[in-house]
């Protein structure tokens, strides 16, 4: 029998990073045996990275949980889904009734943006709970961008992305897409797209204290001192004003506050910031002139410009530069994607604006941002006694014990909770504390649609893949896990899971028919619901969103328009064309214009001005990502381990010599929150005064089930932090550019 008789191919969009590559999976005997890039995918055209290639191993990891776990007499044991959800309902409802809604904390981790369930259900869960104790990976990552976009454009989700395929000049700040494959800029084959930029004569400038693989591609690499990008960017803006290089063009009529920004950056001359940034004033002027001279240019910043002391100011300045050079919202500049599940265009009108600090955290008094509290403050919200304490936790796709500052304190806090639920495929550093663990199926058994990343994609396109392999007996789809969790916390335990989807569909269509700007205005919501196709709740909801969306069929109004059936008929996706200008239609500010100097930003500028005087003397630590890794949960796949993917402290040769550090031998690293020992790797890939340690390691806690990862656990870099260093506007943890002390660990001589 030829292999073709027993094997088949199934398409699956890769959920492992933001690039969303199309995979062609080989399926044999009900499991995934191979993965390659789908050459016909309209967006990724066959590109794949080593993580995508390891999809079969990752999907089939024997450590993945197959059944729910429940705690009995202190120990976790397997249980049926019925028993597990009974315990969830019994564990959470009484706490809410006694202590109120905020007593249940919700932690949402990164993979929620990589699953359909994670996009569709957490908003419903949060509404059902009514809790303000919401903590997500955003405050360990991109919250500064949300805040900046909220303030500038009135919409925290209106995030401009570089128009990568058409730009003449890319100024990249604190991002390393050659290893991360891009973030808040969904672009399969980011490396290839950067090379194409250079081939068509474009320029790439990279600002990064490390000589990353991306920096090696650059025409200009600036090894800035960590944490000082806001100063550098303010100086770039200053030069644009000073030298008459601003050219906002059509943005002038849609923007207010140019003069105010000119005044605000007055003090930040290149000469004034040069020493703090450790970048010569002449080079800063050159960068500004190159940016202004480029026919089109895009300024783009990511994690290294976000998880820093001035994260929101840095992200704001990124878009200020895009506006001042006229590059915001024009082809080749920084543009707003328009995804198929976004809202349909409507006449431009003033909106409700974006507000920060509508409430504050109980212990630290941190302002909420986008309805969230800082994840760095989660431990104190649990372990500080008093009214309103978080006593129970629902943790979905999150591993904050490793991902957030001071994992030790959080570890202990989690152990003291009255009740905890984890929705997680692994028993890991965080989920080991749960009273109930609800494991979602492996990705091959789930359908996939990128609700989040299509809205950050460098080309408008839409793709959907159904589960590649049928759900194994005894498994529950992640959407059903979420639905049943929602029912369990909202006093509807035992109702059919479809009740949640029916409710959302009823509400959404009810709103749409009542909206005078919607294409379906005045129609009968129930009739529209009856028209939805799809074999599951998530599919019906996807159909609804597509049909109401900017390319939708409007439930029949446009027979050529988008719906689920049409998408299913195009298994490699549908290309919806290059990004198009969207101003002023997408603005939701109160003024109806781009508000270039919002009040909260202006109020934070004195802090930046003070930084002009500061000269950090010691060593600063920054992170790094490895192509074959992903945050905290991919160290359990043998195919992705080893080689250069190791948990080492990278130190510049000069610093190593000064500190007496030797290659491969341990160093002791001390920060505000603790200390650790880690092997040294001497390399000029980091600049002097800077050391680098990756995150997501430290798999040495008992009670986890990560056989491969535990064999080479590494250390948890976030143990060096105590959770008090935050970007004040967004509550985002400072994970890059914090001070550490380093000493050599001498082997004890044998006696
Ligand atoms: N020092 C330092 N710390 C950092 C960073 C840094 O650069 N430096 N980066 C930060 C960033 S950018 C982020 S986004 C955060 C991430 O922080 P987290 O989201 O807390 O961390 P992850 O490691 O992504 O954890 C994901 C969890 O989801 C589970 N999971 C995997 N697949 C699925 C699935 O399909 N469904 C469900 N329900 N669960 C799943 C995994 O088992 C794991 O427990 O870490 C942050 N921490
Ligand atoms: N292979 C792999 N891919 C991933 C992930 C992963 O863990 N591994 N994680 C995914 C996630 S959750 C995210 S959010 C994205 C992140 O995607 P990126 O932001 O592209 O990735 P990072 O590697 O965090 O890049 C941050 C860069 O900022 C630099 N940096 C640190 N401090 C500073 C500073 O103060 N100023 C400047 N200018 N630069 C600084 C670091 O040296 C680093 O090179 O990647 C995603 N993709
Ligand atoms: S680049 Fe990202 S989406 Fe593409 S194959 Fe690799 S992990 Fe998957
Ligand atoms: Mo992230």
Give whole-number Cα distances, 340 to 461, 463, 518, in Å.
8, 10, 15
Take atom 24 of ligand 2 and give the residue whose Cα is closest. 303
Ligand in closest contact with the CA of 59: 1
Q: Measured from the CB, is residue 51 less than 6 Å from ligand 3? A: yes
* 3-state secondary structure at position 345: coil
Report yes or no: 426 and 706 within 8 Å, Cβ to Cβ: yes
> What is the Å distance from ligand 3's center to 329 Cα?
27
**Least confident window among 248-257, 428-437, 634-643, 724-733:** 634-643
Give the residue from 281, 270, 181, 182 showing the smallest Cα distance to 234.
Answer: 270
At residue 645, the 3 state secondary structure works out as: strand
Helix (H) or strand (E) holding 37: strand 31-37
Other CB atoms within 10 A of residue 519 CB: 18
For the CA of 180, the nearest ligand: 2
Return the pLDDT at 629. Answer: 95
Buried b (16+ CB within 10 A) or exposed e, 374-401: bbbbbbbbbbeeeebbbbbbbbbbbbbb
pLDDT (0 to 100) of residue 642: 86
Q: Is 21 in the pocket of ligand 3 (CB under 6 A)?
A: yes
pLDDT at position 5 is 56
Cα angle vertex 399, ends 625, 14, to 5°? 60
706-728 pLDDT tens trace: 999 999 999 999 999 999 999 99
Q: Is the CB of 212 under 6 A from ligand 2?
A: yes
Quote the ligand 4 centre to 270 CA distance (angstroms): 31
Asked if 410 contacts 376 with a C-beta cutoff of 8 angstroms, the reply is no
Q: Is 423 in the pocket of ligand 1 (CB under 6 A)?
A: yes
Which residues crowd ion ligand 4, with CB under 5 Å?
141
Q: Which of 164, 176, 651 to mutate to test the pocket of ligand 2 (most atoms within 8 A of CB)?
A: 176
Q: What is the mean pLDDT of the chain?
A: 97
Residue 658 has pLDDT above 80, yes or no: yes
Tokens representing residue 630 in the block? 């992903």
Task: Give the number of whichever ligand sits closest to the CA of residue 691.
Answer: 2
The closest alpha carbon to 369, from 379, 359, 381, belongs to 359
Site to substitute for ligand 3 among 181, 191, 465, 629, most atoms within 8 A of C-beta: 181
Query: Exposed (0-12), middle (13-18) or buried (19+): which is 720, by Cβ within 10 Å?
Result: buried
3-state secondary structure 510-572: HHHHHCCCCCCCCCCHHHHHHHCCCCCHHHHHHHHHHHHCCCECHHHCCCCCECHHHHHCCCC
The pLDDT value recorded for residue 746 is 82
CA 513 vs. chain centroid, Å, equals 33
Q: Is the CB of 25 under 6 A from ligand 3?
A: no
> Which token pair is 538?
């998530």
Tell me which residue has its CA closest to atom 23 in ligand 1.
632
pLDDT tens column, 84-111: 999 999 999 999 999 999 999 999 999 9
Ligand 1 centroid – CA 368 distance (Å): 21
715 Cα to the center of ligand 2, angstroms:
19
In this predicted structure, what is the pLDDT of residue 132? Answer: 98
DSSP category for residue 686: B
Structural tokens at position 101: 């809604």
- 20: Cβ below 6 Å to ligand 1? no
Residue 71 phi/psi, 5° resolution? -90, 130
Question: What would the two tokens of residue 134 be?
Answer: 């919401």
612 within 8 A of 272, measured Cβ to Cβ: yes
Please, which pLDDT band fits residue 6 given cuts at 50, 70 and 90?
confident
CB 216 within 8 A of CB 266: no
What spacing in Å lies between the alpha carbon of 184 and ligand 4's midpoint?
A: 9
| Separation between Cα atoms, residue 113 and residue 631, nearest integer Å | 14
Q: What is the residue with the minimal CA distance to atom 12 of ligand 1?
A: 141
Q: Is 737 in the pocket of ligand 2 (CB under 6 A)?
A: yes
Stated as kind and residue range, the H or E segment containing 98 is helix 81-99
pTM: 0.98
Could you give the percent of the chain with pLDDT greater than 70?
Answer: 99
- Pocket probe for ligand 3: among 20, 21, 36, the residue whose CB has the most ligand atoms within 8 Å is 21
Q: Cα of 170 to ligand 1 centre, how many Å?
A: 28
Q: Which residue has the tokens 């199934």?
A: 10
Tokens representing 664 are: 């491969």
pLDDT > 90? residue 748: no
Ligand 3 atom nearest residue 44's Cα: 4
Do residues 60 and 26 lie in contact, with contact meaning Cβ atoms separated by under 8 Å?
A: no
**Helix, strand or coil, per DSSP, at residue 25:** strand
Ligand 3 atom nearest the C-alpha of 16 is 7
Angle, vertex CA 269, rays to CA 264 and CA 270, nearest 5 = 140
Q: List CB contacts of 599: < 8 A, sequence separation 6 or more.
A: none
Number of continuous H segments (helices) and E segments (strands) in the chain: 27, 28
What is the spatial distance between Cα 190 and Cα 179, in angstroms, rounded to a whole number? Answer: 10
- The length of the chain in residues reads 751
* 3-state helix, strand and coil shares in percent for the chain, rounded to the nearest 5: 35, 20, 45
**Site to substitute for ligand 1 among 108, 110, 452, 698, most atoms within 8 A of C-beta:** 110
| Any ligand 3 atom below 6 A from CB of 628 | no
Most distant CA atoms of the chain, gap in Å: 88
Q: Is 14 in the pocket of ligand 3 (CB under 6 A)?
A: yes
pLDDT at 1: 42
Which neighbouring-strand residues pair with 676? 669
The pLDDT of residue 608 is 98
Question: Which residue has the CA at smallest separation from atom 35 of ligand 2?
Answer: 226
Supply the pLDDT for residue 48: 98
User: Is there an atom of ligand 2 within 6 Å of 17 CB?
Assistant: yes
With pLDDT > 90 as the criterion, what percentage of the chain qualifies?
97
- pLDDT in the model for residue 2: 47
What value does the mean pLDDT take over residues 631-651? 95
pLDDT at 290 over 80: yes
Q: pLDDT-derived band of residue 441, with 50, 70 and 90 as boundaries?
A: very high
Matching residue, tokens 């001497």: 682
The residue with tokens 């480029």 is 294
What is the atom index within ligand 2 of the atom nearest the CA of 692? 42
Determine whether the shortest distance from the Cβ of 229 to ligand 2 is under 6 A: yes
Residue 213 has a CB neighbour count (10 Å cut-off) of 14
> Would you tell me how many other CB atoms lie within 10 Å of the CB of residue 553?
21
Identify the residue whose tokens are 């006449």: 347
Give me ligand 4 centre to Cα 183, in Å: 8
Q: Is 123 exposed, middle or buried (0-12, 13-18, 19+ CB in 10 A)?
A: exposed
- Give the closest ligand to the alpha carbon of residue 306: 2
For 190-196, what is the mean pLDDT?
98
Mean pLDDT calculated for residue range 14-27: 98
For 477-498, write each residue's pLDDT tens digit.
999 999 999 999 999 999 999 9
Across residues 204-217, what is the average pLDDT? Answer: 98
Give strand pairing partners of 574: 462
Confidence band of 368 (pLDDT split at 50, 70, 90): very high
Distance in angstroms (rounded) separating the CA atoms of residues 472 and 457: 33
Tens of pLDDT, residues 51-89: 999 999 999 999 999 999 999 999 999 999 999 999 999
In sequence order, what are the residues at sequence separation of 6 or more whose Cβ sits closer than 8 angstroms to the Cβ of residue 502? 529, 537
CA distance 382 to 392: 8
How buried is 728 (Cβ within 10 angstroms: 0-12 exposed, 13-18 middle, 19+ buried)?
A: middle
- Peptide linkage before 584 cis (omega within 30 of 0): yes
Whether 180 is in the pocket of ligand 2, judged by its Cβ within 6 Å, is yes
Q: Kind and range of the H or E element at 232?
A: helix 229-242
713: Cβ–Cβ under 8 A, 6 or more apart, which residues?
A: 697, 698, 699, 700
């Amino acid at each position: 029998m030829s292999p073709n008789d027993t094997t088949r191919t199934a398409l699956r969009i890769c959920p492992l990073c933001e690039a969303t590559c199309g995979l062609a999976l080989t399926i044999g005997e009900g499991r995934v045996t191979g993965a390659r890039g789908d050459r016909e995918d309209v967006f990724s055209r066959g590109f794949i990275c080593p993580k995508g290639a390891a999809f079969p191993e990752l999907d089939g990891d024997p450590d993945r949980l197959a059944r729910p776990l429940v705690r009995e007499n202190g120990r976790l044991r397997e249980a049926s889904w019925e028993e597990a959800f009974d315990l969830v309902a019994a564990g959470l409802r009484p706490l809410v009734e006694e202590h109120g809604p905020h007593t249940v904390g919700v932690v949402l981790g990164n993979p929620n943006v990589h699953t359909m369930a994670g996009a569709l259900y957490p908003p419903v869960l949060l509404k059902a709970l009514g809790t303000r104790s919401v903590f997500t990976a955003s405050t360990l990552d991109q919250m500064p961008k949300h805040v900046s976009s909220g303030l500038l454009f009135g919409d925290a989700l209106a995030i401009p992305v570089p128009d990568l395929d058409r730009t003449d000049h890319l100024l990249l700040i604190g991002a390393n897409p050659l290893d991360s494959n891009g973030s808040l800029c969904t672009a399969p084959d980011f490396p290839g797209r950067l090379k194409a930029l250079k081939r068509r004569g474009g320029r790439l400038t990279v600002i990064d204290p490390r000589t990353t693989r991306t920096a090696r591609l650059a025409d200009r690499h600036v090894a800035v001192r960590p944490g000082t990008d806001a100063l550098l960017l303010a100086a770039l803006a200053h030069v644009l004003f000073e030298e008459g290089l601003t050219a906002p063009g059509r943005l002038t009529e849609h923007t207010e506050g140019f003069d105010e920004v000119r005044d605000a950056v007055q003090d930040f001359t290149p000469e004034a910031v040069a020493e703090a940034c450790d970048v010569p004033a002449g080079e800063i002027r050159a960068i500004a002139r190159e940016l202004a001279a480029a026919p089109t240019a895009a300024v783009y910043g990511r994690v290294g410009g976000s998880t820093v002391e001035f994260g929101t100011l840095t992200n704001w300045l990124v878009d200020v530069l895009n506006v001042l050079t006229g590059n915001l919202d024009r082809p080749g500049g920084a543009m707003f994607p328009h995804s198929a599940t976004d809202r349909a265009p409507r006449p431009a009108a003033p909106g409700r604006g974006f507000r920060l600090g509508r409430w504050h955290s109980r212990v630290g008094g941190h302002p909420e941002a986008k309805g969230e509290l800082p994840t760095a403050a989660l431990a104190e919200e649990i372990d500080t006694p008093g009214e309103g304490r978080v006593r129970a936790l629902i943790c979905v796709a999150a591993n904050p014990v490793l991902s957030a500052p001071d994992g030790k304190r959080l570890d202990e806090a989690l152990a003291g909770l009255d009740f905890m639920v984890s929705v997680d495929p692994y028993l890991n550093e965080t989920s080991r504390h749960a009273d109930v663990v609800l494991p979602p199926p492996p990705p091959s058994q789930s359908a996939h649609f990128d609700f989040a990343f299509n809205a950050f994609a460098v080309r408008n396109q839409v793709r959907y893949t159904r589960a590649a392999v049928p759900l194994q007996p005894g498994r529950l789809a992640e959407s059903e896990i979420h639905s049943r969790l929602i029912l369990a916390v909202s006093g509807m335990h035992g109702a059919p899971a479809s009740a949640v989807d029916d409710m959302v569909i009823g509400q959404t269509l009810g709103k749409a028919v009542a909206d005078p700007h919607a294409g379906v205005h005045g129609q009968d919501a129930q009739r529209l619901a009856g028209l939805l196709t799809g074999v599951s709740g998530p599919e019906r909801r996807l159909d609804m969103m597509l049909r109401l969306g900017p390319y939708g069929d409007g439930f029949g109004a446009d027979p050529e328009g988008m719906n689920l059936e049409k998408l299913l008929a195009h298994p490699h996706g549908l290309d919806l064309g290059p990004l198009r200008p969207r101003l002023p239609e997408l603005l939701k500010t109160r003024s109806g214009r781009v508000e270039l100097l919002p009040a909260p930003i202006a109020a934070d500028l004195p802090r930046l001005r003070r930084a002009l005087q500061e000269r950090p003397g010691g060593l600063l630590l920054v992170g790094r990502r490895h192509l074959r890794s992903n945050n905290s949960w991919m160290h359990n796949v043998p195919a992705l381990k080893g080689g250069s993917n190791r948990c080492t402290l990278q130190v510049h040769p000069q610093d190593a010599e000064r500190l007496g550090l030797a290659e491969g031998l341990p160093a002791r690293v001390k920060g505000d929150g603790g200390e650790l020992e880690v092997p040294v790797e001497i390399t000029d890939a980091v600049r002097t005064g800077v050391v680098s340690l990756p995150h997501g390691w430290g798999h040495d806690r008992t009670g986890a089930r990560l056989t491969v990862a535990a064999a080479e656990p590494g250390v948890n870099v976030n143990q060096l932090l105590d959770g008090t260093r935050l970007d004040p506007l967004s509550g985002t943890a400072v994970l890059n550019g914090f001070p550490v002390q380093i000493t050599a660990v001498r082997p004890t001589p044998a006696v």
